[in-house]
A and B are shown apart, each in its own frame.
Chain A
Amino acid sequence: MAYSEKVIDHYQNPRNVGSMDKTAKDVGTGIVGAPECGDVMKLQIQVDEKTGIVKDAKFKTFGCGSAIASSSLATEWLRGRSIDEALSIKNTDIVQELALPPVKIHCSVLAEDAIKAAIADYQKKQNNGNGSK
């Protein structure tokens, strides 16, 4: 199976690799895993608490080229988006952009799950943290 040029590009030059402080109130962290391939993906967003816009996004993925490319692309797309816009990112968009073959669709699903988990984590912190921090 050949990877598309876009996958190879993201794989060789991954965007926004790294970690943020996951205890920070303006940071949402999503870690998801895929039992069938053993991949694990961490995606973090830093949100401007006033505007609700994603200021920064980082990822760290251990997995195949498609999983790395999917999460790398996700961080690119997340930057500058509002939470609602971020939630509207679908795995099918990632599949299309990266031209993922059917056997690699689960990688894009993992990326979508990671986005949702990161946002949920951020929202939970915002709701819990009222006045406490």
Chain B
Amino acid sequence: MSSPENDRIDPSLCWNCHTQLESPYKCDSCVKIQPWPDGADRFAFLGLPRRLRIDLNDLEERFLRLSRIFHPDFFQDSADQEREISLVNAARLNKAYNTLKDPTQRAAYILELELGAQHKHTKAIPQDLAFEIMELQDALAEYADQGGAAKSTSAAARELQRLHDTLRQRYEQNLNDLDLFFAQYDKVMDESTSPFEPQVTARKKEILTRIDQTLAARLYVRRALENVTAALEGRDVNQL
């Protein structure tokens, strides 16, 4: 397939006039926008270093600035090639922005970047969390046995609500934990002179594993909370 992205031999040169590019987004010489490669670092797309703590206002400003460069509306009357770049870049920009603005998605993305898409995620859940979920499922079963939402003031409903609130707190605490690991990751990145220094890699791996575990717990808690909310609202609970 012929497209500016595929035809480009040297990405440091403009696809159109082959001038050395000063900016990866747009050629200073012929003013053509440049294709942002598929799968390229989404942090880099927004002009950010690979760090997990992000200023969301700054991120939004960057997103809007780049949106104005690539927005397909501006290329309605342009040649096919440039119109295509604008469409593809705008879609990739949206994807990059959405990934980075959400801490959970951002963390999952760092794991993918650092450990590869094929990386096997941890499935280990801390004992105390598994225990809480067990209690919650017991309470859910009890609640369902007693006719569910019809008795919303029953002891079973109150117990369910209590466990729900505990898990809700855990869900919020989980985000704080994540932020702590973000800070640790950023520190390692800031201090690293060579990314291949073995000690740094070991420390980094340790932090990435923590992030992986925190995300797994987060997903687990979220599912449980959804189930409880559904039960308390009298919707069908998907237990099987």
Contacts and interface: CB of A to CB of B under 8 A. Distances in A.
Given A40-B133, A42-B134, A117-B127, A35 B219 contact: yes
B39 to A, nearest CB: 25
Contacts of B227: 38
The interface size bin for chain B is: 10 to 19
Contacts of B141: 62
Contacts of A60: 134
A89 interface: no
Contacts of B240: 63-65
| Residue among A33, A34, A63, A64 with the highest chain B CB neighbour number at 10 A | A33
A35 B223 contact: yes
Nearest to B122: A35
A33 B219 contact: no
Contacts of A117: 127
Interface residues of A, number: 17
Contacts of B131: 31
A32 B223 contact: no
A125 interface: no
Contacts of A63: 240
A38 B224 contact: yes
B127 to A, nearest CB: 6
A106 interface: yes
Contact of A32 (B130, B137, B217): B130
Contact of A38 (B127, B129, B217, B220): B220
Given A62-B239, A117-B127, A35 B134 contact: no
Contacts of A36: 123, 219
A33 B218 CA distance: 12
Interface string A79-103: 0000000000000000000000000
B123 A35 contact: yes
Given A33-B133, A38-B227, A40-B133, 4 more contacts: A35-B217, A40-B130, A62-B141, A65-B240
Interface of B: 123, 125, 127, 129-131, 133-134, 137, 141, 216-217, 219-220, 223-224, 227, 239-240
Please provide the 4 A-B residue pairs with the shortest distance between their CB atoms, ordered closest to farther: A35-B220, A62-B137, A33-B125, A38-B223
Interface of A: 31-36, 38, 40, 42, 60, 62-65, 106, 109, 117
